[in-house]
Amino acid sequence: MKLELLGHLILTVAIFGSLFLFVAYAVYFERKVAAKMQNRVGPDRVGWYGLLQPFADILKLLLKEEIIATQATKFVHTLAPAISVIMAFITFAMIPIAEGFYIADINIGMLYMMAVTSIGVYGVTLAGWSSNSKYSLLGSMRASAQMISYELSMGLAVVGVILITQSISVVSIVESQTENILYWNIIRQPLGFLIFWIASFAEANRLPFDLPESEQELVGGFHTEYSSMRFALFFFAEYTHLIVASSILTTVYLGGYQIPFQSFLFPGLDGWWLVSAQILTFILKMCLFVFLFMWVRWTLPRFKYNHLMELGWKYLLPLGLLNVVLTAGWLLIYDGF
């Protein structure tokens, strides 16, 4: 019993530790991707090809002076970044990165993930409100409105998957896709995938849905009044969201850790080799989504508030409902009532 607990603890630390590392390097990756798209070189001074840049950034932010606006509500002001970053992190607990490798598998895993990401919005909203600045307030107002609109569509998109799987557990969702590549939910639920993907842009506060921070008109929005490590936490939370959103997309729609065509390509794989290969597959799939997020960010303009609402309520929500009805109807016919 004790040994099992210890093993679990080590796994937890390992997963969260590597998540930290991934988030740090997501920033580096983003800067390199942006640089490539903009005819620039990107960070290349610190370390080999600038690979130590994330640590230099963190160190710089740690050493900066911490400024709290005099009119800010101090307790909430301090609490907000913590909420953001913690909620972003604990979402990852549900995600299996290889067969049997996950921090927790609860029978309502999908619900848990939706719930926790919703709480994450509080971080942004409270930050804007407690800063007592008009720009921040506008940013946090946008954040809360945006999250409500997109959570709904996201939830509806997931309902389709849940109907197919007949389970809300994340592990079961992944295992239901392991048969072969045709069983991936992206094939079985293309509309649901599209809705979920668009909504996860809004969830992760990424362009074209980064209205809460829109640096052009709101000059950073909810985190305008933050500096030093508190700002770094928001920054961290944003990139954690990016990684987590990509992981969720991988898990729910791209067969999670499943290696495509495994029985053809690597028939004799088992034991630790299999686990490593699965982890690698998972990381590659996740990186694909991370790259897509970045590609979109450095290409598209930003939505306007009213168009964002329009897209959320007039298009994604009805489409989500349609997806649920179609999936349910198909299941009813397929399973023969």
Residues of the shown chain interacting with another protein in the complex, contacts defined by CB under 8 A: 34, 37-40, 134-135, 138, 142, 207-208, 210-211, 214-219, 298-307
State the minimum distance, in angstroms, from the CB of residue 3 to another protein: 52
In the bound state with another protein, the residue whose beta carbon lies nearer, of 95 and 138, is 138
In the bound state with another protein, the residue whose beta carbon lies nearer, of 114 and 138, is 138
State the minimum distance, in angstroms, from the CB of residue 57 to another protein: 19
State the minimum distance, in angstroms, from the CB of residue 43 to another protein: 16
3 state DSSP class of 216:
coil
State the minimum distance, in angstroms, from the CB of residue 202 to another protein: 14
In the bound state with another protein, the residue whose beta carbon lies nearer, of 129 and 257, is 129
In the bound state with another protein, the residue whose beta carbon lies nearer, of 236 and 303, is 303
Helix or strand (DSSP H, E) at 210: none
**Long-range contacts from 109-116, C-beta under 8 angstroms, 24+ separation:** 109/168, 109/169, 109/170, 109/171, 109/173, 110/158, 110/161, 110/162, 110/168, 110/169, 110/170, 110/173, 110/252, 111/168, 113/170, 113/248, 114/151, 114/154, 114/155, 114/158, 116/87, 116/90, 116/91
In the bound state with another protein, the residue whose beta carbon lies nearer, of 179 and 217, is 217
Cα 221–222–228 angle (5° rounding)?
Answer: 105
State the minimum distance, in angstroms, from the CB of residue 41 to another protein: 12
Can you give 27-66 as a three-state secondary structure string? HHHHHHHHHHHCCCCCCCCCCHHHCCHHHHHHHHHHHCCC
